[in-house]
Amino acid sequence: MARHAQRVAQNLLAVAALLLPATLARAGDKPRKPIPASPAADYPLHDTHDGITIAAEPGDIKETRPDTRLDYFHHGFMPIRVIVTNNTDQPLSLDDARILFVAADNYTRNAATDDDLARRMFSKKYAEGSKIPLPAPLPSITVHHPAIDKQILADDRDFGFPTTTVAPHTTVSGYLFYDTKEIDDPVLDKATLELRKVRWASTNKELMAFEIPLKPTPEKPEAASQTTH
């Protein structure tokens, strides 16, 4: 009996060791903070007129991708950080703004919605959870992953635009995700990010469209040297 009790205790400890990391990961899923944005004019890809500068920073390399809970990039979504700097004395409104990705073939894509992301990211295998075998005689257990939709909402909360009003002499930024799965690599070659229906908040007057030519981010020298060895 003593030996049986000892075996049961060891098995329970094994279960706890397996479940504790997953439990702590869920409990510790605190809000994530993007790297603070610089003024839009500091980014190489930008357009300026009417005292407004809007920049785009594509996430085609690891260094410029947001630290999201889900890996959208490797599921065919290109993250692009949009940075808006208002150098005027009146507030700017993005309430009606359309931010469009125009590929080299002129096919235009809207930013993906939360539902678009969820449909691509969801899989039956993920929903069923991970089977973890335990020492005999205990049966295997299933550890369920955090819900996809909740992670997407959390990513949108942490990395999306915090406001659609850009106050005078301030900068606002947020990440958008574009479905580029069907575009030949490099997807950014000869592509453009267009912003339409950007308006002055006080008068609702629409500004001329912003057009930001995109291009692949140059590979870092150290990364290029590593690929040659």
Report domain extents, the chain. 39-218
CATH code given to domain 39-218 = 2.60.40.1230
Separation between Cα atoms, residue 8 and residue 137, nearest integer Å: 9
pLDDT tens, residue by residue, 159-204: 999 999 999 999 999 999 999 999 988 999 999 999 999 999 999 9
Measured CA to CA in angstroms, residue 110 lies from 37, 97, 215 at distances of 23, 11, 18
Instruction: State both tokens at 94.
Output: 């993005």
> Taking 80 as the threshold, does the pLDDT of residue 50 lie above it?
yes
Separation between Cα atoms, residue 188 and residue 205, nearest integer Å: 31
Q: What is the pLDDT of residue 3?
A: 55
> Taking 60 as the threshold, does the pLDDT of residue 58 lie above it?
yes
Confidence of residue 25 (pLDDT cuts 50, 70, 90): very low
Confidence of residue 224 (pLDDT cuts 50, 70, 90): very low
> Taking 80 as the threshold, does the pLDDT of residue 11 lie above it?
no
Sole residue written with tokens 């260094």:
63
pLDDT tens, residue by residue, 76-102: 999 999 999 999 999 999 999 999 999
